[in-house]
Structure 1
Amino acid sequence: MTVSGARAGTMDKRNDLGYRLSALARVAELGPGRVDPKLLAEAGQLLLRAGDRLKLSGDHTVVALAGGTGSGKSSLFNRISGLELSPIGVRRPTTARTHACVWGLDGAGPLLDWLQIQWRHRFARASALDRGESQLHGLILLDLPDHDSIRAITDHEADRLIKMADLIVWVLDPQKYADAATHTRYVRELAGHEAVTVFALNQADRLAPEELAECVVDLSDLLKSEGVARPRIVPTSATTGRGVNSLKSVLAESVAARRGAVQRLEADLDRLMVKLTKVMPPAEVMSVPPAVDPARQEGLTDALCDAVGVSAVGEAMENVYAARSAAWVGWPYGRWAARLRPDPVNSLRLGSFRDEIRAVTAASISAQPAEVENAVQALADGLTPGMPDAWRDGVRDAARANLGRLPQVLTTEVAEIAPRLDRVPTWWRLLKVWQFFLVLLFVAGVAWAGSILFYGVLRPAESAPELLSDVSVLPWVALMIASVLGLGLLSAIASRNFVVLGAARERESLEREMRRRIASVGKEQVVNPVEQSLRHYNDFFTALTSARR
């Protein structure tokens, strides 16, 4: 592969890592309340560290030599650098401060500052190219404090730099290569970091060839049992120089690839994703519709209408409408006769019509808060099967967010559209005029008939007008009176039928408007918060899936 091709491949990887880190940032943004806070804190630290490291020199690879006291770590550091840079001794800790040797100073300063390496402990191999070590150009080699130090300050520094280094070389000695401090605190935690971890079995000169081979096999088995699938073990001797060139070759390979920083961040991200993906649901339910489907919204509206008592309000309005119509469109003679009986409106105990309707509406809501809660709960339960518990609870909490004031909002909405019971349709007025016109005709007919009987039969006076005394007209007058009565009766019957139809239409109109308003309240108070929670759910798992790639 050409140099330009290698750089293009590196840039592709950087872009891929950037995409995954962006997805992780979205996970961290949407995770609070749904994901273990410790995992979110770890994600935040990784994002911060990745942002800092990727802004610094990509031409340098930070390699940390880590190990316990007596492992020969500082001696190996000096052997690789070719200089006596790190102090060697038997006091604990042998290495109190981190020492750094840099091959190629250009651009290394900000990176060393980020690593917090003190100036007096920085050393440069300016002549490295003259000594045939050009393959190490870009290497920053760190000699960390002993991780099993009895000094808390140095132990903390070792922990900090182990997390920040691009490549870690664990320096183990034949006597303590299974040391619990190393394996429990570090090796197990870094399982999956094979690409950025090397194990140097130092002091190999103290072992016979057979013993060394046995130690390598035993160490390899131990590391595999702790999750290191393909451990890279390099036997070395800082005293004789055995294996040092092999270790240099491993370091040179990492430096030449210029991917140490990216590989370490990818390994850290992969390890974090293993933990985060424990919150992933089964694949078949990982994605849910981001919107509540119309059928569920209709179901919520139906349940809320039942809780409000829409049918009861409509029925009451229909009864009131029919009762009030009797004063306008009923047969006048029937209304006059009804005055001798108890008022049918009063018998319905309707009192003030408007107040009664509002009271019915208010009582329907306030008396059935449990039904409102059940309606909301049913919607949430229908949307959350298969979701992880934390996200299921989140959807339910979103659905119930406004539950405390939902009944009052429904009350207000329905009360605002309580029908105007004092409204009189125009046709009622016209029909009343028509009925009274027929009453006048009836009265006139009766008076006419009486006049004919009086003047035509009794003949109290000879000068009565012929129209009021002609007995031959009497049958026709009687027919007119009967026709007027019949027409009035038919009008009353027809008007009652029209009233029934009108009451049904009014009820339908009222219930339709109440349903529309209740649906609007349900959408605003319940559905919208639920859909927002569903969008967060989908965004979270989309981001989590993207971060796993």
Structure 2
Amino acid sequence: MSTISTAATRQGLGARLAALGRIVELGQGRIDPGLVTEAAQLMLRAGDRLKLSPDHTVVALAGGTGSGKSSLFNAVSGLELSPIGVRRPTTARTHACVWGLDGAGPLLDWLQIQWRHRFARASALDKGESQLHGLILLDLPDHDSIRALTDPEANRLIQVSDLVVWVLDPQKYADASVHRRYVTDLAGHDAVTVFVLNQSDRLSLEEQAECVADLEDLLKREGVTQPRVVATSALTGKGIDALKAVLAESVAARRASYQRLEADLDRLMLRLNKDVPDLVHVEATVDGARRAGLTDALCDAVGVAALGEAMENVYGVRSIDWVGWPYARWAGKLRRDPLSSLRLGAVKDDIHTLVGSAVSAQPAEVETAVQALADGLTAGMPDVWQAGVREAARGRSGQLPQALSAELSEVAPPLDRVPGWWWLLKIWQYLLVVLFVVGLAVVGTILAYGVFKAGEPPVEVLGNVDVLPWVGLMLVSVLGLGYLSGVASRNFVLLGASKERDRLERDMRRRVSTVAQETVIQPVERELQRYNEFYAALNDAKR
């Protein structure tokens, strides 16, 4: 394989691993914790392996007790490196034979191979085997050894080796424990798995062909689509060159490490796809219609319309003290207080009390509005992600009543604030009251001095009876002008009250929308964005 092709493979694998990292980050609490842990371990293992020598291919010989694995290791290496048991053949520690030491040290350290169990093929011994330069051959502990420490070490090295060679013997090649614990688990790793039927010297050619065919059929049933089976005999040397050729092919390609990581990643992605099936892309932003719908629902929940109406009524009632015709107002004091008919409680003292009570009284409606928004946005999403969006929507919904109360309390105008034109109208109407009182005084004076002759008037005109009609006309004009100004001002007050209500409701709605944005919509959009990023990462991590 060319250097360009290998670099492209490495780059593609790096992009997939980066996507897997995003899956681990974004999938916390949304996918199986076991898968998250396995993905994190794969990224750690991949990161470590990719930093180490790309010129070496780690090949692990794995097999059960009595399969002749150590003998095969010695036959391939050409040296007696791994001890062969007599009574009960067991390999307790991993042995390594390296073809080409340059750069292999850190990789062997990462594999945790003890120094006394590391061996190198000297150049003099490598004559004719240059095709194996870059091979690190491991003789793993027997996976079914009676020694407790061997299985964990074998399991660990099987997981991190670039190529695994399973050494089987004619008597136990269909051993259920091997297939259940390892072969089935490595389905999909065809490119980085080789099966050796060792001790073939015990079989006739017909028996060997039958065993190989039976083993291949068994492997295919267990998910190994294209099994590579090599028949060998460590005793006679039969098939050793064929096995070396397979190893040399992997070493020469310099991509077994990438293929192994890709196979591990493919297997993990299959499990992830089963755990989170049928992902669909969703809009990561809440559309304007749903924003408006949530704002409307929250406005209903806090009684914005009722508050606006109450404020309009308060505005009108308070205007009576300022722009109503004083004589009518004084007469009205003899009747029941009109504010009591509004049933606003303490509104005359502080309209904030009204606002606060209205908000805190509707938590159920707030919850319903938030739930409706979440349900409308999660159609088609997997259940666990739907639950995540609902959780995000409801995460701060308990704070909504208090937040809305605080916001709306700032909107409500203080009751002691009145429009400036109310002051001018009040001054004008009291001037009319004064003119009317003066007119009555003039009438009384004329009657006293001009009709009843109570004495000499201080001013001649105050005793002239002919002036009475003009003074009376003035009094009627004052009363009419006061009445008309009262009616006109009342109409202006009603118009102003309506505008004040509209302004207040717009301001309240704006603040409700702001609170909804901060406490509900932003968390929901973050969760939707997280889902879409997870969805994209899942696609990127696939082939």
TM range (shorter): over 0.9
Shift of 1:87: 2.0
Structure 1 residue aligned with 2:91: 95
Tell me what 1:481 maps to.
Answer: 475
State the Cα deviation string for residues 173-204 of structure 1 (Å, max 9, x = none): 12211111110000010000001001111222
Q: Is structure 2 residue 516 aligned with structure 1 residue 522?
A: yes
1:10 to 2:9 alignment: no
**3-state SS of paired residue (1:423):** coil
1:214 is aligned with what amino acid? E
Residue of structure 1 aligned with 2:269, choices 273, 284, 288: 273
Indicate the residue corresponding to 2:484 in structure 1. 490
Other structure's SS at 2:119 match: strand
CA shift for structure 1 position 238: 1.7
Deviation at residue 408 of structure 1 after TM alignment: 1.8
- Residue by residue over 1:239-269, the C-alpha shift from the partner in whole angstroms, topping out at 9 and shown as x without a partner, is 2222221111111110001111111111111
Aligned mates of 1:321, 1:210 — CA distance in 2: 107
Contact 2:98 2:137 in 1 (8 A): yes
CA distance in structure 2 between the partners assigned to 1:327 and 1:62 by the alignment: 96
Q: CA deviation at 1:405?
A: 2.8
CA gap 1:464/1:142 in 2 versus in 1, 3 angstroms: closer
Distance 1:189 1:181 in 2: 12
SS of aligned partner of 2:384: helix
In the other structure, the counterpart of 1:238 is: 234
Letter in 2 for 1:429: W
2:316 to 318, 322, 326: 322
Alpha-carbon distance in structure 1 between the residues aligned to 2:367 and 2:402: 13
Shift of 1:461: 6.2
Q: Is the 8 A contact 2:69 2:167 kept in 1?
A: yes
Q: Is the contact between residue 66 and residue 89 of structure 2 (CA under 8 Å) also seen in structure 1? A: no
* Alignment gaps of 5+ in structure 2: none
CA distance in 1, matches of 2:191, 2:112: 25
Residues 1:94 and 1:340: Cα distance change in structure 2 (over 3 Å): closer
Distance 1:447 1:79, change over 3 A: same
The worse-fitting range, judged by mean Cα deviation, of 500-509 and 121-130 is 121-130
Q: Secondary structure at the match of 1:141?
A: strand
Task: Encode CA deviations 1:193-217: one digit per residue, 9 max, x unaligned.
Answer: 0010011112222222222222222
1: CA distance, partners of 2:212 / 2:333? 114
> Is the CA contact 2:317–2:339 (under 8 Å) kept in the aligned structure 1?
yes
The corresponding residue for 1:52 is: 48
- Quote the Cα distance in structure 1 between the aligned partners of 2:466 and 2:348: 56
- Contact kept in structure 1, 2:346 and 2:353, CA below 8 Å: no
Choose the corresponding residue for 2:370, options 356, 376, 395: 376
1:306-317 to 2 correspondences below 5 Å: 306-317=300-311
Matched, 1:401 2:395: yes
The reply on whether 1:86 has 2:82 as its aligned counterpart is yes
1:33 maps to amino acid: G
SS at match of 1:52: helix
1:260 paired with 2:256, answer yes
- Distance of 1:366 and 1:70 partners within structure 2: 78
1:195 aligns with 2:191: yes
| Distance verdict in 2 for CA 1:464–1:215, change over 3 Å | same
Per the alignment, in what secondary structure is the counterpart of residue 434 of structure 1? helix
Identity of aligned residues (%): 69
SS at match of 1:282: coil
- Judge conservation of contact 2:76–2:240 (CA < 8 Å) in 1: yes
1:207 matches 2:207: no
Q: Give me the whole-angstrom Cα distance separating, in 1, the residues matched to 2:439 and 2:456.
A: 23
The residue matched to 2:181 in structure 1 has which SS?
helix
* Worse overlay, 454-463 or 370-379: 454-463
CA contact (8 A) 1:50 1:265 kept: yes
Q: Write the letter of the residue equivalent to 2:97.
A: C
2:493 match: 499
Aligned match for 1:361, one of 355, 358, 370: 355
What is the CA–CA distance in structure 1 between the aligned matches of 2:481 and 2:502, rounded to whole Å?
A: 31
> Do structure 1's residue 75 and structure 2's residue 71 form an aligned pair?
yes
Question: For residues 463 and 77 of structure 1, what CA distance do their matches in structure 2 show?
Answer: 145
CA contact (8 A) 2:351 2:414 kept: no
Shift of 1:355: 3.9
C-alpha displacement of 1:288: 2.1
Superposition CA RMSD, Å: 2.2
Cα pair 1:291 1:534 within 8 Å, conserved: yes
- By how many angstroms is 1:469 displaced? 5.2
Greater alpha carbon shift after TM alignment, 212-221 vs 451-460: 451-460
- More divergent stretch after superposition (414-423 vs 348-357): 348-357
1:24 correspondence with 2:16? no
In the alignment, which of 507, 512, 520 is matched to residue 513 of structure 1?
507
Select 2:405's aligned residue among 411, 415, 434.
Answer: 411
Q: What's the secondary structure of 1:392's corresponding residue?
A: helix
Alignment of 1:29-178 (within 5 A): 29-127=25-123, 130-178=126-174
Moved more, 43-52 or 272-281: 272-281
Instruction: Pick closer, same or farther for the CA change 1:354–1:297 going to 2, 3 Å.
Output: farther
Structure 2 counterpart of 1:45, one-letter code = Q
Match of residue 285 from structure 2: 291
> How many residue pairs end up in the alignment?
543
C-alpha separation in 2, matches of 1:445 and 1:92? 135
Instruction: Find the residue that maps to 2:185 and give its secondary structure.
Output: coil
The residue identity in structure 2 corresponding to 1:114 is: W
Partner-residue secondary structure (3-state), 1:189: helix
Contact 1:93–1:145 (Cα < 8 Å) also in 2: no
Secondary structure of 2:196's partner?
A: strand
Deviation at 1:9, TM superposition (A): 1.6
Match of 1:537 in 2: 531
TM-score under structure 1 length normalisation: 0.93
Equivalents in 1 of 2:146, 2:383: separation in Å? 44
Q: Go from structure 1 to structure 2 and tell me whether the alpha carbon gap of 1:354 and 1:104 turns closer, same or farther (over 3 Å shift).
A: farther
Q: 1:225 pairs with 217, 221, 244, which one?
A: 221
Amino acid in structure 1 at the alignment position of 2:225: A
CA distance in structure 2 between the partners assigned to 1:289 and 1:460 by the alignment: 96
Q: Where in structure 1 are there 5+ consecutive unaligned residues? A: none
